[in-house]
Amino acid sequence: MQRWPGLLALLLLLPMLTASAAAHVTPNSELTIDFRDDGILIDVIIPEGDYVTASGAPGQREKRWAAAWLSGQVAGEAPDGRPWSVRVESVEFVQRAGPPDLHAQIRMTPPRGGPVRRLSLRWDAVVRQNPDHFALVLVGHDHGANVLPQDRRLIGAVRGEQRTLTIDRGAASGWAAFQASFRLGVHHIAEGTDHLLFLLSLLLPAPLVAAGRTWGGARTTGSALGQLAKVITAFTLGHSLTLLIAALGRWHLPTQPVELAIALSILVAAIHAVRPIFPGREAWVAAGFGLVHGLAFATLVSDAGVGGSDRLLSIVGFNLGIEAVQLVVAGLAIVPLMVLARTPDYRWVRWALALIAAVAALAWIIERMSGTANPVAGLIMTLAGQAPWLWVGLVVLAVVARMRQARVSGSGATSGRSPSS
């Protein structure tokens, strides 16, 4: 998904967000380790040429052969000498930058009762066959130490006769896990264009009062803020509930129906922004769709391998990260919307923004049903990448509309009324 950095959110959260990312820039192998509550997942990159020379692979890119070979090239040992189990989960040959690489995922599990965060990792692939080859070992994700994928850190290397690396990540810290989860929540929602678009679509009519089957005049400031608070709170309660239940229960739901439902929620909210279809029940709708959005968040939390005794704390941290960004985004959006709502121009602004949301929703529905990339969806993501400028544009629009209205008021026309839809 395209990143949409919530400006204020990022400024406030900057100390927790510092990241240093190292790309695969070496001609040698890389092992990136994801520490989970039940073991580790190693993301392996080996230059294909080195793999072929070292392994004597018989055929062109035989994945099964490669997996079998790889499984014999790695071993883990607990501090008491007991071996870890090894399973090669996937192998593919890809070319991303430079020559092609073998890319694999290896899952390793400690012996019963053995620590997950302490092991001796032995790596022989290519290194044993070619003493000049070295393999970098990095930590890609360690929730218990507040290391997220964007913070990838080098912890050692193996080469020649030095093919065993002792890894001790220390005790997992609940506070570190909370911080990591908070950052993960911020990161996910900041990149979650669909979640934020749903919220913003609900906010479009928030400054207005429904009048039958149309949107009527503007609410007072207090009333608008109250409506905003109700909608956001309801959405938060909804997604928090399913996030907690699904994450704690380690539900693994199929992604496609959840993603489709999210796209549908945006479409419904966009229609509602044009013509009230559930006036006065926005909070209930927000809560209801919030339940669906929460399921998507729960999948991410599960994929992040957060667990153990810190799981609840991590889930709360993740949720708070989401809330922080939501509050900032909603706060930034509602101000120009409230100003615009008091001008005759708000009608076409609301319709235009609702139309964009509806088009985005339809594009995502098609994309998520067909499984193929949709150019319209791509365009929406490109626009989302320019969100800060769009916000500036909205603010400017609000100021200009207000000034125009003030000029018209000054020449004797009525003011303070927004047009009906």
Partner 1 sequence: MIIVPALVISLASVWWSGSGDAGTHAELPVPFPAPLTSWAEHVETIDRAIATHQQRAGREPTDWLSPSAEAASWIDRASMTGRWQDYAEAERALAMAMARAPESNKPYPLAARLALALHRNQAVEPALTAAVADRTFREVAPQADAAAMRGDVAMYQGDWQTADRLYLSAMTASPDAAFAMRRAFILERTGEAGMAHQAWIDAAWVNPRPTRRMLAAIALRLGHHDLTRGQWSEAAAHYADADRLLPGDWHVAASLLQMRALDGDLTGALAGMEALAQRHDLPELWDAVAAWKQAAGDASGARVALDRAARGWHDWTARYPEAAAAHAADHALIAGDRDAAVRWAEANYRQRPYGDAAILLATALTAKGDYARARPLLTPVTASGWRTMEGDRLGFELAALAGDGDAAEAAQAAALERNPRAFDPAARLILFGLH
By CB under 8 A, name the binding residues for partner 1. 20, 22, 25-27, 47, 49, 52-53, 98-99, 131-132, 134, 136, 153-162, 165
Quote the CA–CA distance of 99 and 76 in Å, as a whole number: 30
For residue 260, give both structure tokens. Answer: 């489709």
Asked if 295 contacts 253 with a C-beta cutoff of 8 angstroms, the reply is yes
**Residues with Cβ within 8 Å of residue 229, at least 6 apart in sequence:** none
User: In this structure, what are the phi and psi dihedrals at residue 193, rounded to the nearest 5 degrees?
Assistant: -60, -40
The pairing of beta strand 118-123 with beta strand 164-168:
antiparallel
**Residues with Cβ within 8 Å of residue 365, at least 6 apart in sequence:** 260, 263, 264, 267
Nearer to partner 1 by Cβ, of 100 and 288: the residue is 100
Distance from chain centroid for Cα 278: 30
45 forms bridges with which residues in the sheet? 30, 103
Q: Report the 10 Å Cβ neighbour count for 25.
A: 9
Query: CB of residue 85 vs partner 1: minimum separation in angstroms?
Result: 25
Nearer to partner 1 by Cβ, of 30 and 345: the residue is 30
Query: CB of residue 82 vs partner 1: minimum separation in angstroms?
Result: 24
Nearer to partner 1 by Cβ, of 29 and 242: the residue is 29
User: In this structure, what are the phi and psi dihedrals at residue 217, rounded to the nearest 5 degrees?
Assistant: -75, 175
Nearer to partner 1 by Cβ, of 163 and 350: the residue is 163
User: In this structure, what are the phi and psi dihedrals at residue 158, rounded to the nearest 5 degrees?
Assistant: -125, 145
Quote the CA–CA distance of 421 and 276 in Å, as a whole number: 10
Q: Distances in Å between the alpha carbon of 182 and those of 147, 324, 325, 334?
A: 12, 9, 10, 24
Q: What is the CA radius of gyration of the chain?
A: 26
User: How far apart, in Å, do the first and last CA atoms of the chain sit?
Assistant: 33
Nearer to partner 1 by Cβ, of 93 and 278: the residue is 93
Query: CB of residue 118 vs partner 1: minimum separation in angstroms?
Result: 15
Query: CB of residue 49 vs partner 1: minimum separation in angstroms?
Result: 7
Asked if 152 contacts 22 with a C-beta cutoff of 8 angstroms, the reply is yes
Nearer to partner 1 by Cβ, of 34 and 259: the residue is 34
Quote the CA–CA distance of 251 and 298 in Å, as a whole number: 8
Query: CB of residue 141 vs partner 1: minimum separation in angstroms?
Result: 15
Nearer to partner 1 by Cβ, of 11 and 154: the residue is 154
Nearer to partner 1 by Cβ, of 53 and 233: the residue is 53
Query: CB of residue 25 vs partner 1: minimum separation in angstroms?
Result: 4
Query: CB of residue 67 vs partner 1: minimum separation in angstroms?
Result: 21
Query: CB of residue 156 vs partner 1: minimum separation in angstroms?
Result: 4
Query: CB of residue 26 vs partner 1: minimum separation in angstroms?
Result: 5
Nearer to partner 1 by Cβ, of 131 and 280: the residue is 131
